């Protein structure tokens, strides 16, 4: 059975941390809060413990895992030929929601990196995560603590919903603050490349990495071709199909309305993930609405996003609609998660 220990997120009890660290040292699995989402942790230097992570999540062995560190010496322990800009980025953004992909040393088990020559490293900005890594005395490998293709967990309950019985311990430190995962930057290519938009914005990264390559599918505006199907694996996908409706607000709301009416006509139950500003305009429609927070406050939307996806899934509708959040700042990461959940289904209302 999976044990749950409640822990103060800002001042974790050292005895609880020591218990969790003992589980890590013995090769077990501990889910713990970070500032982004809950991670499913194991000793990053123990190949067998890392194998357990893949099994518990049902994660394909081809998808590499981030090593979480609590001090910069652990970066040097895991990586070689670290470019100077890595230290500049670390200085600015660590601890925080930024993951750096660098060349790995032989000490890193091959399965952590899914056989690649690189390793992804992050220093999380959460007292529980940092205390756990320090107490364990080793870097901690941790993907998000959800089952493969489920929304990432932002509370201990989400972790238990997916992984109860499959892991040893959950440290319950309450809901996470950022709510979406870290930005992942590959520093082994020239110029560096953004592999996943996340908690650190592109604008903030470009202050230090002006050359940073960001895939056009993240940035282009206007009508966009749906990305190649293989590029958008089922990830964060709710059971019901989700559609992102893009375009200027009035046009998008009108299109959402017509999509809803068509679906209702076909006898479908419809759900919406709606911004607070849009709720009043859609209130006359017989649909289940889960609020995402204010469209003007992307931090709030990010914080609520994964819980909202889980909730709309639990309600059990046949179709889910959501208005495109846009791409400015944190909205880019929110949009990325929504488009993945939609498996690329974006329609342009204009
Ligand atoms: O905020 C986060 O990053 C959370 C918390 C727990 O730290 N972790 C997280 O892990 O989101 P995960 O496994 O769900 O996502 C890690 C991402 C994946 O897209 C993976 O492919 C990429 O990082 N990644 C990991 N190692 C990599 C590597 N060596 N090269 C390229 N991409 C890598
Ligand atoms: Mg994940």
List the pLDDT tens digit at each of the 350 positions of the chain: 999 999 999 999 999 999 999 999 999 999 999 999 999 999 999 999 999 999 999 999 999 999 999 999 999 999 999 999 999 999 999 999 999 999 999 999 999 999 999 999 999 999 999 999 999 999 999 999 999 989 999 999 999 999 999 999 999 999 999 999 999 999 999 999 999 999 999 999 999 999 999 987 776 644 444 444 334 445 566 678 999 999 999 999 999 999 999 999 999 999 999 999 999 999 999 999 999 999 999 999 999 999 999 999 999 999 999 999 999 999 999 999 999 999 889 999 98
Minimum-distance ligand 1 atom for the alpha carbon of 97: 1
Q: Give the Cα-Cα-Cα angle 304, 308, 312 (nearest 5 degrees).
A: 175
Separation CA 206–CA 208 (nearest Å): 5
Q: Which two tokens stand for residue 241?
A: 């199909």
* 132, two tokens: 């756990």
Segment holding 258, helix H or strand E: helix 249-265
Nearest ligand, CA of residue 147?
Answer: 2
DSSP assignment of 6-21:
E--SSS--HHHHHHHH
pLDDT of residue 235: 59
Find the distance separating the first CA and the last CA of the chain, reported in whole Å: 52
* pLDDT the model gives residue 299: 98
Residue 63 is predicted with a pLDDT of 94
> Cα dist. 221→185, 326, 327 in Å?
22, 9, 9
Minimum-distance ligand 1 atom for the alpha carbon of 195: 32
- Residues 99, 89: contact at Cβ < 8 Å? no
- Given ligand 1 and candidates 58, 105, 181, 199, which is best to mutate, with the most ligand atoms within 8 Å of its CB? 181
Closest CA to 199 of 219, 176, 220: 176
Query: Distance between CA atoms of 173 and 39, rounded to whole angstroms?
Result: 12
Burial class (CB in 10 A: 0-12, 13-18, 19+), 299: middle
User: Ligand 2 is a single-atom ion; what residues have CB below 5 A from it?
Assistant: 144
β-bridge pairing 183-186 and 98-104: parallel
Residue 228 confidence (pLDDT): 41
Ligand nearest the Cα of residue 184 is 1
Task: With a threshold of 0.85, tell me whether the complex ipTM lies above it.
Answer: yes
Which residues, in sequence order, are CB contacts of 118 under 8 Å at separation 6+?
64, 101, 102, 103, 104, 186, 188
pTM of the model: 0.96
pLDDT of residue 307: 98
113 is in an annotated binding site: no
Residue 104, SS3 per DSSP: strand
Q: 1 alpha carbon to ligand 1 midpoint, in Å?
A: 27
Alpha-carbon span 201 to 30, nearest angstrom: 29
Question: Hey, CA dihedral for 202, 246, 149, 174, is it positive or negative?
Answer: positive
């Amino acid at each position: 059975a999976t044990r749950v220990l409640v822990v103060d997120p800002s001042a974790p009890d050292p005895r609880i941390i020591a218990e969790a660290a003992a589980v890590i040292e013995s090769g077990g699995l501990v889910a713990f809060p970070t500032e982004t989402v809950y991670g499913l942790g194991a000793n990053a230097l123990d190949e067998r413990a890392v194998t357990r992570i893949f099994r518990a999540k049902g994660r394909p062995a081809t998808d590499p895992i981030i090593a979480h560190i609590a001090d910069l010496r652990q970066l040097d322990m895991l990586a070689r030929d670290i470019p100077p800009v890595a230290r500049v980025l670390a200085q600015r953004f660590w601890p925080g929601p930024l993951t750096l992909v660098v060349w790995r040393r032989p000490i890193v088990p091959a399965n952590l990196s899914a056989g690649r020559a690189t390793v992804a490293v992050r220093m999380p900005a959460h007292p529980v995560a940092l205390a756990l890594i320090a107490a364990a005395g080793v870097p901690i490998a941790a993907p998000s603590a959800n089952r493969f293709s489920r929304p990432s967990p932002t509370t201990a309950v989400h972790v238990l919903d997916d992984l109860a019985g499959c892991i040893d311990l959950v440290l319950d430190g309450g809901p996470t603050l950022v709510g979406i995962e870290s930005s992942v930057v590959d520093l082994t290519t020239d110029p560096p490349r953004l592999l996943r938009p996340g908690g650190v914005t592109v604008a903030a990264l470009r202050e230090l990495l002006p050359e940073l390559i960001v895939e056009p599918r993240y940035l282009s505006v206007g009508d966009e071709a749906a990305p190649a199907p293989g590029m958008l694996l089922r990830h964060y996908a709710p059971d019901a199909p989700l559609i992102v409706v893009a375009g200027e607000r009035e046009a998008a709301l009108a299109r959402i309305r017509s999509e809803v009416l068509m679906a209702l006509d076909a006898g479908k139950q419809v759900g919406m993930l709606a911004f607070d500003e849009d709720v009043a305009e859609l209130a006359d429609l017989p649909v289940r609405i889960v609020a995402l927070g204010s469209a003007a406050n992307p931090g709030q939307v990010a914080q609520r996003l994964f819980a909202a996806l889980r909730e709309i899934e639990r309600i059990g509708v046949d179709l889910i609609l959501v208005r495109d959040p846009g791409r400015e700042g944190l909205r880019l990461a929110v949009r990325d998660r929504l488009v993945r959940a939609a498996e690329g289904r974006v329609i342009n209302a204009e």
